[in-house]
């Protein structure tokens, strides 16, 4: 067995706690949006939880950076994580913190060896649907011409956007809302691609078994094996007659 | 021939009767929606037929559970059937009965060995279009802001939704109607995936025959066969000369 | 060379004239719709041309049926052509004649050996766009609530429908118009499938060449060939020593 | 190493300068649209830059035509470039110059050996989004019924069109605007195809390694190799006994 590096062990052990933190972040993000008339204290606690989760993911990045052997390569291959850590420091606003934490969770999830691409994309799509709905709701509710004002409308709009149906009965009117919408559209296209590719790969893996050229090859190899078996029999007969000669000669 | 188990025989024999029951359910479901000013007695008969079909599918599940040899595995691998059987018991409402019966029919249809994936998906899409139109019509007609009020509008809306065109001239406004819409959108994406995958698989199976590596292999095998044939001729010549020696020696 | 049957020769010779007829039909179909205030005589001439083209395609079907050797099989495998021939006889209306002629042209075009699937689908999509626009225009212009009233609007609507964009600024309101729309939507999905499948097949045919298992096989075959070559050298040496013995014995 | 032709060297050296010219064109195209109340002089300078860039790309085409060895073939295989060069000469209008320059840049970019298809398509999509937004804005702003009046609306509309979402909150109303929209829709379908195909190709290249037929072949080849090895041992034994006979005879 290959010896695990300190970095690998850290990543395996923190996998589950970080997933728990992501759920805590989701709750803390959802509460003030879904329940806008909440107590001031609840809202401020939620903000603190959000920052704490971002901080712990940033800490996780630093620990992995310290534990790794080739630091320069780590920074280069994990540039997206670095951006996600630094982003909310530049301009401390709600939306950037959301994007940062989603990016950090996504990067850690992709690292988990037991998660396949399909699972990853489906998970990302569900997370984007959920956070997209909440983010659009919080942005559009404050806009005077906005037409997305309840959680139900926001979720419904997210679905019509991500499946590229786009009825147009609800549509974002603010710049931020539209940026979120573009994110949902692009993930919808990715989702469609993964669904199609999965079905296609499964179909083709079944078609493959009927390859004509390969069957001809198998037949050719079997004919060759028959030929070699006949040759062995010939050589065995020759060997017998030779030993008869030899024995006679010795007698 | 492999001996058929009691479960297999049951599944084969009940295939056609259950399909007939599914058609009866479709009729009983459609009548009160398409013909809302119908007699009270007609409506109540339709409801009875719907419950009876669900009951018979539930019975089919139980019989298969009794006939199977490994019950625990059956329950585990057929958990979707179990949900479909139990769902309408929890909260006895129309929509859940519809979903349950569709699930049970779908599970039984998928089991039929003569049905290929494409046929199954196309069948499911047609069924979803039909039941989706009816369900949306029954839900939206009662909503004050609803804009889907005739069967024609409902079918038209189903098509624009499933093909992800989404004009927005008709769109569901109630929570239940939107849940049905999301189901239609997701099946539309699955349909698109199956269509694309089918065409792609067919294309690729034709491209495949021009594989360069395989042609090189076939050439290598043929050269090898030539070599072995030459070797056999050599051994045969050797064998002849040896027998000449042996004969001379004996004479 | 394989001898061509009378049917094959007929199909090859009539390929071009029938294509010309299809163009004549397109013109005769377009004129009364694009130019509604045209002379009564022009319109009646166009109708005559439409019927004549349908008649000649029907005649072509009959000639092929007479020339073929296995008539029962021809009817069975060309049932779509038969439907297209019989359809306008049942209820002689404009839309059915359009569908029939499109079907007959499509069937004959698919038969042409030099046309590949992609060309066929792209051609079908362009034809559907053109005829769909004209048909919707003629149907919706007469509807009081219709919002597709100019050729420009009709073409624009066809594009937004076939690409599944579906803005909803123009949408059919009549039953016939909606049936045409569903046809366009489904062809749009087919077009998307063919485009994706083509790109995917091209990508995969390039990926294929790097198959690991096949390279191992080639290596194994080459090692085997080396082995057989060594064996031949051994047998040749044995043959030499045997001939030395034999010669000595004869001397 | 293959000797580079004069044409190849020219194409390699001009790759970067032409990319710079494309950026200059983009800026000159964007300025008068984004900043409509700009000075008359600024606008006229932008027009001059646009024409200059088109002229330099046309010059590049001529130089390549002079440097190539087979001129007739060059014209035939680069007919799209020729069209792009000649197009703005026929009817000197803004939109045609835009299309021409985009075509010329695209043709040159596709030639670059280091650019893969995916990169090319993504680049083309981004360029089309940008230029499509600007072109639609300049066309629709002047239309009395137009509803795309700010750059934000134009970019938002481009995204909803290219991803085939099509809310319909903004839609072009003029003929030119709709032609641009059709271009965006078709590129959206191409983009979706490339995304899906890429994912599918990646999936399938992983599925491939589990080919059953190929494993049977490998097993057959290995069994054959075993057989040949046994044969060599037999022949070696025979050879030994033959040499014993020969030696004895000589002694």
* pLDDT mean over C171-192: 90
Q: Could you report the per-residue pLDDT of A134-155, keeping only the tens digit for each?
A: 999 999 998 888 899 999 999 9
pLDDT band at D1 (very low <50, low <70, confident <90, very high): very low
Q: Could you report the per-residue pLDDT of A86-110, keeping only the tens digit for each?
A: 888 876 667 778 888 888 888 887 7
- State the pLDDT at residue B132: 92
Residue D182 to residue D178: CA distance in whole angstroms: 6
- State the pLDDT at residue C178: 93
Residue C14 to residue C60: CA distance in whole angstroms: 8
Angle, CA of A219, A223 and A229, to the nearest 5°: 145
Residue B116 has pLDDT above 80, yes or no: no
- State the pLDDT at residue C9: 85
Q: Residue D69: exposed, middle, or buried by beta-carbon count in 10 A (0-12, 13-18, 19+)?
A: exposed
- Between the alpha carbon of residue B80 and those of residues B76, B101, B184, D49, the distances in Å are 9, 12, 19, 66
Q: Could you report the per-residue pLDDT of A205-214, keeping only the tens digit for each?
A: 665 544 566 6
**Nearest Cβ partner of C200 from A165, A167, A200?**
A200
Least Cα distance to B28 among B112, B134, B125 occurs for B134
Quick check: A234 and B229 CB within 8 A? no
State which residue of chain B sits closest to D214, comparing Cα positions.
B214
Crossing angle of the two packed helices C40-67 and C6-34, in degrees rounded to 10: 160
Q: Which two tokens stand for residue D110?
A: 């596709």
Residue B201 to residue C231: CA distance in whole angstroms: 45
Q: Count how many pairs of residues, chain B against chain C, have C-beta atoms within 8 Å.
A: 127
pLDDT band at C1 (very low <50, low <70, confident <90, very high): very low
Spatial neighbors of C45 by CB under 8 A, at least 6 apart, are C28
Residue D58 to residue B250: CA distance in whole angstroms: 96
Q: Which of the two residues, B170 and A229, has the higher pLDDT score?
A: B170
Residue A65 to residue A76: CA distance in whole angstroms: 11
Q: Could you report the per-residue pLDDT of B20-38, keeping only the tens digit for each?
A: 898 999 999 999 888 888 8
Give the containing element (helix H, strand E) for C140.
helix C117-140
Q: Which of the two residues, D21 and D213, has the higher pLDDT score?
A: D21
CB C82 within 8 A of CB C64: no
Which of A58-67, B240-249, D88-97 has the highest mean predicted lDDT (pLDDT)? A58-67
State residue D174 phi and psi, 5-degree precision: -95, 160
Q: Please list every residue in chain A whose beta carbon sits closer than 8 Å to the beta carbon of residue D192.
A: 189, 192-193
Quick check: A236 and D234 CB within 8 A? yes
* pLDDT mean over C217-238: 76
Residue D117 has pLDDT above 90, yes or no: no
pLDDT band at D177 (very low <50, low <70, confident <90, very high): very high
> DSSP label at D3?
P
Residue D231 to residue C230: CA distance in whole angstroms: 11
pLDDT band at B134 (very low <50, low <70, confident <90, very high): very high
> DSSP label at A166?
-
Name the average pLDDT for chain C.
83
CB B105 within 8 A of CB B80: no
User: Lowest-confidence range among A42-46, A63-67, C147-151, D99-103?
Assistant: D99-103
**Nearest Cβ partner of D217 from A168, A218, A231?**
A218
Other CB atoms within 10 A of residue C77 CB:
10
User: Which residues from B are below 8 Å from D when comparing CB atoms?
Assistant: 164-168, 196, 200, 204
Quick check: D189 and C163 CB within 8 A? yes
pLDDT band at B242 (very low <50, low <70, confident <90, very high): low
pLDDT band at D114 (very low <50, low <70, confident <90, very high): low
Residue B4 to residue B23: CA distance in whole angstroms: 28
Residue C141 to residue D196: CA distance in whole angstroms: 39
Angle, CA of B133, B134 and B139, to the nearest 5°: 100
Residue A219 has pLDDT above 80, yes or no: no
Least Cα distance to A56 among A95, A100, A96 occurs for A100
CB A139 within 8 A of CB A177: yes
CB A163 within 8 A of CB A135: no
Quick check: A164 and C168 CB within 8 A? no
Residue A222 to residue A81: CA distance in whole angstroms: 55
Q: Which of the two residues, C177 and A205, has the higher pLDDT score?
A: C177
Q: Please list every residue in chain D whose beta carbon sits closer than 8 Å to the beta carbon of residue C151.
A: none
Q: Which two tokens stand for residue C200?
A: 């995917």
Q: Which two tokens stand for residue D22?
A: 């494309």
Residue B226 has pLDDT above 80, yes or no: no
* pLDDT mean over D131-147: 91
Residue C137 has pLDDT above 90, yes or no: yes
Other CB atoms within 10 A of residue C223 CB:
11
Q: Which of the two residues, B60 and B244, has the higher pLDDT score?
A: B60
Three-class SS state of A163: coil
* pLDDT mean over C38-64: 90
pLDDT band at C24 (very low <50, low <70, confident <90, very high): very high
Least Cα distance to B168 among D115, A98, A161 occurs for A161
**Nearest Cβ partner of D238 from A167, A204, A235?**
A235
Q: Which two tokens stand for residue B53?
A: 């079909």
Residue A63 to residue B238: CA distance in whole angstroms: 76
- State the pLDDT at residue A195: 82
Residue A206 to residue C208: CA distance in whole angstroms: 16
Spatial neighbors of D79 by CB under 8 A, at least 6 apart, are none
* pLDDT mean over A56-63: 90
Q: Please list every residue in chain C whose beta carbon sits closer than 8 Å to the beta carbon of residue A166.
A: 165-166
CB C1 within 8 A of CB C80: no
Name the average pLDDT for chain A.
83
Give the containing element (helix H, strand E) for C167.
none
CB A182 within 8 A of CB D159: yes
State which residue of chain C sits closest to A232, comparing Cα positions.
C231
CB B217 within 8 A of CB A217: yes
- State the pLDDT at residue B224: 77
* pLDDT mean over B29-52: 89
- State the pLDDT at residue B161: 94
Least Cα distance to C193 among B185, D124, D160, B191 occurs for B191
Determine the distance in angstroms separating the CA of D73 from the nearest CA of chain B, rounded to an integer: 28
Find the Cα–Cα–Cα–Cα dihedral D57, D63, D65, D69, rounded to 10°: -150
Determine the distance in angstroms separating the CA of C34 from the nearest CA of chain D, rounded to an integer: 17
Q: Could you report the per-residue pLDDT of C194-223, keeping only the tens digit for each?
A: 888 888 777 766 655 445 566 667 777 777
Residue C199 to residue B235: CA distance in whole angstroms: 55
Q: Could you report the per-residue pLDDT of C75-98, keeping only the tens digit for each?
A: 888 888 888 888 888 766 677 788
CB C169 within 8 A of CB D168: yes
Q: What is the ipTM of this complex?
A: 0.76
CB C165 within 8 A of CB D185: yes
Q: Which of the two residues, A43 and A226, has the higher pLDDT score?
A: A43
% residues pLDDT > 90 (chain D): 24
Residue D251 has pLDDT above 70, yes or no: no
% residues pLDDT > 90 (chain B): 24
- Between the alpha carbon of residue C147 and those of residues A132, A166, C130, C182, the distances in Å are 34, 20, 18, 17
Residue B192 has pLDDT above 80, yes or no: yes
Residue B96 to residue D233: CA distance in whole angstroms: 75
Residue C117 to residue C94: CA distance in whole angstroms: 29
- State the pLDDT at residue A137: 93
Least Cα distance to D52 among D83, D11, D24 occurs for D24
Residue found under tokens 């559970």: B65
Q: Residue A94: exposed, middle, or buried by beta-carbon count in 10 A (0-12, 13-18, 19+)?
A: middle
Q: Could you report the per-residue pLDDT of D202-243, keeping only the tens digit for each?
A: 776 665 544 556 666 777 777 777 777 777 777 777 777 666
- State the pLDDT at residue B136: 93
Least Cα distance to C92 among C61, C56, C55 occurs for C55
Q: Please list every residue in chain D whose beta carbon sits closer than 8 Å to the beta carbon of residue C220.
A: 218, 221-222, 225
Quick check: A212 and B217 CB within 8 A? no
Find the Cα–Cα–Cα–Cα dihedral A235, A240, A241, A246, rounded to 10°: 120
* pLDDT mean over D124-142: 91
Other CB atoms within 10 A of residue A69 CB:
9
Angle, CA of C221, C224 and C228, to the nearest 5°: 140
Q: Count how many pairs of residues, chain A against chain C, have C-beta atoms within 8 Å.
A: 10
* pLDDT mean over B68-89: 86
Q: Which two tokens stand for residue B132?
A: 């989706």
Residue B42 to residue D124: CA distance in whole angstroms: 61
State residue D218 phi and psi, 5-degree precision: -60, -45
Residue D166 to residue D170: CA distance in whole angstroms: 9
pLDDT band at B10 (very low <50, low <70, confident <90, very high): confident
């Amino acid at each position: 067995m290959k010896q695990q590096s300190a970095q690998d062990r850290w990543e395996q052990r923190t996998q589950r706690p970080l997933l728990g933190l992501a759920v805590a972040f989701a709750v803390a993000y959802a509460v003030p949006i879904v329940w806008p008339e909440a107590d001031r204290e609840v809202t401020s606690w939620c903000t603190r939880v959000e920052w704490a989760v971002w901080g712990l993911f940033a800490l996780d990045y630093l620990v992995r950076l310290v534990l790794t052997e080739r630091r320069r390569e780590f920074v280069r291959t994990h540039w997206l994580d670095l951006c996600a850590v630094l982003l909310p420091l530049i301009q401390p606003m709600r939306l950037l913190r959301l994007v940062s934490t989603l990016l950090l969770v996504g990067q850690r999830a992709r690292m988990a060896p037991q998660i396949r691409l399909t699972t990853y994309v489906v998970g990302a799509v569900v997370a984007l649907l959920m956070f997209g709905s909440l983010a659009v709701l919080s942005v559009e509710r404050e806009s005077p011409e906005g037409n997305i004002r309840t959680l139900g409308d926001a979720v419904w709009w997210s679905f019509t956007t991500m499946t590229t149906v786009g009825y147009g009965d609800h549509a974002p009117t603010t710049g931020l809302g539209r940026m979120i919408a573009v994110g949902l559209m692009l993930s919808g296209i990715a989702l469609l691609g993964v669904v199609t590719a999965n079905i296609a790969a499964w179909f083709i893996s079944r078609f493959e078994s009927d390859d004509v050229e390969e069957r001809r090859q198998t037949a050719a190899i079997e004919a060759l094996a028959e030929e070699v078996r006949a040759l062995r029999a010939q050589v065995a007969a020759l060997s017998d007659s030779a030993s008869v000669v030899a024995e006679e000669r010795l007698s």
